[in-house]
Structure 1
Amino acid sequence: MDLFESQGVNESGIPAFSSQAPLAVRMRPRTVDEVEGQQHLLEQGAPLRRLLQPQGTSSAALSSVILWGPPGTGKTTLAYLVARAGQRFFVELSAVSAGVKDIRDVVAAAKRRIAATGQETVLFVDEVHRFSKSQQDALLPSVENRWITLIAATTENPSFSVISPLLSRSLLLTLHPLGAHDIEVLLERALVDERGLQGKWSLTEMAREALIRLSGADGRKSLTLLEAAVAAASEMDATTVDVEHVEAAANHALVRWDKDQHYDVASAFIKSMRGSDVDAAVHYLARMIEAGEDPRFIARRVMICAAEDVGMAAPEVLSLTVAAAQAVAMIGMPEARILLSEAVIAVATAPKSNAAYQAIDRALADIREGKGGPVPLHLRDAHYSGARQLGHGQEYVYAHDAPHHVAAQQYLPDDLLGRRYYEPTANGNEAMLTKRVQMLRDLLDMR
């Protein structure tokens, strides 16, 4: 039975949607070939691909799974496909409204069904992170005994939101955010498919780019915006959806954003952080967020600026930006804007030094010019047989046996003796490093 023949559910418990359902619902993939963006989970031999095989194959003994990923990446769709492929009975619960009694009722019915007909039951729990510990505990016996195949979806890190016993009994599969190409495929399919817009409307290039940006890597959101933009175009008796229609659908003015804007704003963003203008840095951050720039791209720019422009003047800032980038990847938008703002403010207000950046570039320049002779004999590896006979390691002074734990001996190759790469500034933490580096160089020269 086609999922879209009637309103309600079919004989397997899978929702069936009418032509009046929202576009994002009507366009839900009916086969695995229509799924976009999760090929790492769907390649031949992958656990999810096996679960999508017909009942009676090796997939029948596959364990339950937890799908972790941002909104609109296909978690619910994959659950539907698993149930359809194996002709399993499908039950869907939302952790927002379901309780322990609902879980027990589903499990009891699943046990009766498998005893009477042999038909397996797929229990899909959306937003499983909202279940309390006792509610998650109620799932354990049925998962362990395989009375049901649990497919649990979550947008939060399961390591913190799902109890350990349930995690250990399930496969954890991570869904990736959809890329721009994936969103574009979804939009083009919806425009022409008989379940969708049936070729009655087209998109201008600017409207397509705006929809992709505004979707924020969320497939469902992209189709919802497309449907609203088509409605706006229809009210104006237009059959071509332009950026103005998308703007009306999004209910706010779009930031004009093309390739030049992308590079220009990103450049101004980095230069504002480097120049310690915190207000300008936050402004350009807001422009990128509003334009739909990938928050992971923004986080990478902030990390690079922390390493290149703050450096050893405030080395703790790099750790903060790395933590922010990891949190952005786990949380996603819109909450990620707060983490990005904190990281940007930390970089913009920190003391600045590019001394570490210049140090490695100076060293690389020497290497590329052919400088850097043989490693001094006393520094060479002396752990293999015959090394001592070659003079390796002889007269090497172990640093911890020397005064101040600094061994005054030659470290650089002969042709680079006296070369200085790292020149710390007087800014922030480097003010102390300046004195220490000079002290260390004085000790090393006492030979």
Structure 2
Amino acid sequence: MQPLADRLRPATLDDIVGQKHILGEGKPLRKIIESNKIPNLIFYGPSGVGKTTLATYIAKKTNMTFKKLNGTTASTSDLKDIFKELDGFAGLNGVLLYLDEIQYFNKKQQQTLLEYIENGKITLIASTTENPYFYVYNAILSRSTVFEFKPVPYEEVEKAVRRAFSILADENGISVEIDDKTVKTISVACGGDVRKAMNSAELSFLATDTVDGVKTITEETAKDLTQRSAMRYDREGDEHYDILSAYQKSMRGSDANAALHYLARLLIAGDLISACRRLMVCACEDVGLAYPNLIPIVKCCVDIAMSVGLPEARIPLADAVIMVCNAPKSNSGEMAIDKAMADIKAGNVGSIPRQLQNTHYDGEDNQNKGQHYLYPHDYDHHYVVQQYLPDILKNRQYYTYGDNKNEQAFKAYWDKIKP
């Protein structure tokens, strides 16, 4: 049987749930579709948010011959089979090629499309869950208009869920009773993925007994069948890096609630390693010298987490995340090493000063024989003025004291001692 999501394909643009930022009244993509003059398009966004649905609708509205390929399974020969049909009956009104997951097509495969989309024999609508500016060949991008699709708000998903139960009831000749709370449970749990919501609705329908011609869908059944379905996570995809980015930026921004939210998303996905690694980086990069004692504390929490594993690992990691969020912040250490590395990459290296070298051989022509290293512990306050940087960098300053209490205490100490 055809999947429920396919049986629910909308008849009008207003039937499409979500994407009001591009499909609402007066919005750009809606105007393009209503003009019946469809350019080459790239739909970018997570799965289950209407990309295929809209492409199918466009093909029907424009009376073009609809061809669909998936980048994960299609080959160059599949494209050539479509090209052979262009001069026949199928090509009379033009061919709309919907290429799903275009990011899996290599450069050569994408290039084979150029001739046909340039002469107008093929109108390309490509979709991708990854950033097209990273994965789609530039020549295709320059001939296409990119529209970003976003996760569908649960209020919009609710419309599709109610419609799904209505169709299921009609198809089976029975009645369905479902309260608003249960509809919301299914809609929220899908995480903005309408296809997931449709699957959950159908499973809930199938898992409910019919009593006197009525199926009463309970919230308990809905919860059992939708648990964890809101998680979008692909360790190789944009979503993975978006979560990690939000995780560290929330800690850097001292927002414990947000940081814990993203930590939870990583842990529920089972990505303990990424959660630990980014936490340690943040302790060093964003807290750093403002509270250096936190670094070994975080490392200890990470060691405990890795030792006990999930689900218990969530506890030491939550403690560490909260500490990082509440700690004073300083990135002076990171800025200092970045400046030093920039000099090295630019070729500003120079010879190591003679007094710092491990051993030194003096030739007969050297009038100033000897290492001449000054041992700081032989002087007051264990400090003596001495050149440490190479000559070409001897006045370079990489490190600037942060404005936090800890680094300012260091500064006050050395201001008294250093000339």
1:228 and 2:203 matched:
yes
Structure-2 change in CA distance of 1:108 and 1:229 (3 Å): same
Query: Are 1:48 and 2:29 matched, yes or no?
Result: yes
Summarize deviations over 1:33-87 as a string: whole Å, max 9, x none: 101111222245544324423xxx5x43x42000001111100011111111111
Partner residue of 2:17?
A: 36
Root mean square deviation of aligned Cα: 4.7
Cα contact 2:254–2:325 (8 A) shared by 1: no
Does 2:184 align with 1:209?
Answer: yes
Aligned to 1:171: 145
Shift of 1:32: 0.8
Amino acid in the other structure paired with 1:313:
A
* Residue in structure 1 matching 2:67, options 91, 110, 119: 91
Are the equivalent residues in 1 in contact too, given 2:103–2:132 (CA < 8 A)?
Answer: yes
SS of residue matched to 2:121: coil
Corresponding residue number in structure 2 for 1:146: 120
Q: Is the 8 A contact 1:210 1:246 kept in 2?
A: yes
Distance 2:16 2:173 in 1: 20
> Does the aligned pair in 2 maintain the 1:23–1:196 contact within 8 Å?
no
Residues 191 and 199 in structure 1, CA contact (< 8 A), matched pair in contact too = no
Is residue 65–residue 90 contact of structure 2 (8 Å, CA) maintained in 1?
Answer: no
Greater Rg by CA: 2
- Taking structure 2 as the reference length, the TM-score comes to 0.58
Separation of aligned partners in 2, 1:126 and 1:147: 19
State the 1:110 CA deviation.
Answer: 2.2
Q: Give, in angstroms, the shift of residue 235 of structure 1.
A: 6.5
Cα deviation, residue 30, structure 1: 1.8
Give the Cα–Cα distance (whole angstroms) in 1 for the partners of residues 318 and 145 of structure 2: 37
Q: Aligned pair 1:313/2:290, yes or no? A: yes
1:125 matched to 2:102? The reply is: no
Structure 1 pair 351/35, CA: closer, same or farther in 2 (3 Å)? closer
Structure 1 unmatched runs, 5+: 1-19, 255-269, 291-301, 318-339, 357-403, 406-421, 427-431, 441-447
Mapped to 2, the partners of 1:73 and 1:45 lie a distance apart of 20
Aligned equivalents of 1:79, 1:167: Cα separation in 2: 18
Q: Counterpart amino acid of 2:220?
A: E
Q: Contact between 1:27 and 1:196, CA under 8 Å: does it hold in 2?
A: no
Cα distance in 2 for partners of 1:186, 1:436 equals 63
Deviation per CA, 1:290-336: give whole Å up to 9, x if none.
9xxxxxxxxxxx9xx99xx9598389x9xxxxxxxxxxxxxxxxxxx
Q: Is the 8 A contact 2:189 2:228 kept in 1?
A: no
Q: 1:435 to 1:225 in 2, by over 3 A?
A: same
| Identity among equivalent pairs (%) | 29
* 1:83–1:122 Cα contact (<8 Å) kept: yes
The two structures have a TM-score, normalised by structure 1, of 0.54
**Across the two proteins, how many residue pairs are aligned to each other?**
293
Q: Which amino acid aligns with 2:63?
A: Q
Deviations 1:383-406, CA, capped at 9 Å, x for gaps: xxxxxxxxxxxxxxxxxxxxx99x
Of 108, 111, 116, the match for 1:137: 111
- How many Å separate the matches in 1 of 2:43 and 2:170? 27
Q: Which residue of 2 aligns with 1:415?
A: none
Could you tell me how far 1:170 is from its partner in structure 2? 0.5
**Aligned-partner Cα distance in 2 for 1:252–1:160:** 30
Q: Using the TM superposition, give the Cα deviation of residue 23 of structure 1 relative to its aligned residue in structure 2, in angstroms.
A: 1.9
Contact kept? 1:313, 1:352, Cα under 8 Å = no
| Aligned mate of 2:4, from 14, 23, 42 | 23
- Aligned AA (1:86): T
Q: In the alignment, is residue 285 of structure 1 matched against residue 260 of structure 2?
A: no
Residues 70 and 283 of structure 1: is their aligned pair in 2 closer, same or farther, counting only changes over 3 Å?
closer
1:344, 1:164 → 2: CA distance?
Answer: 43
**Offset at 1:355?**
7.6
Q: How far did residue 107 of structure 1 move? A: 2.2
